[in-house]
Amino acid sequence: MLRYFFIEIVLPLLVFLFVRSLLKNLFGGSKRGPTQQAPASREPAVVSGGELKKDPVCGTYVSTSLSVTSKVNGEVVHFCSNACRDKFRAA
């Protein structure tokens, strides 16, 4: 009786749980989030407000506080990136 219970019920159940665990690990079935929690309050990455200047190369408007600047004929010119600044210098 005990042998029947083990072979017919317990053993298949253990095999099922083992296979399910393997498949879950292989296919990323775990939906757990990161172990560390993010800080409750974060400062914005971009400063809101301020003056916007137009990039002379691509036409993108860029915040003066975040722009890449270069002096051209004594005037400060604002660029969205180093690549636009380099294109402007090459022209």
> Which candidate, 74, 78, 49, places its Cα nearest to that of 62?
78
What pTM does this model have? 0.48
Q: How confident is the model at residue 25 (pLDDT cuts 50, 70, 90)?
A: confident
Query: For the chain, how many residues are written?
Result: 91
Q: Would the pLDDT of 48 be above 90?
A: no
Contact predicate 54/67, CB 8 Å: no
Give DSSP secondary structure letters for 43-88.
--SS--SS-EEE-TTT--EEETTTSEEEEETTEEEEESSHHHHHHH
- Sketch the domain layout of the chain as residue ranges: 52-90
Q: How confident is the model at residue 26 (pLDDT cuts 50, 70, 90)?
A: confident
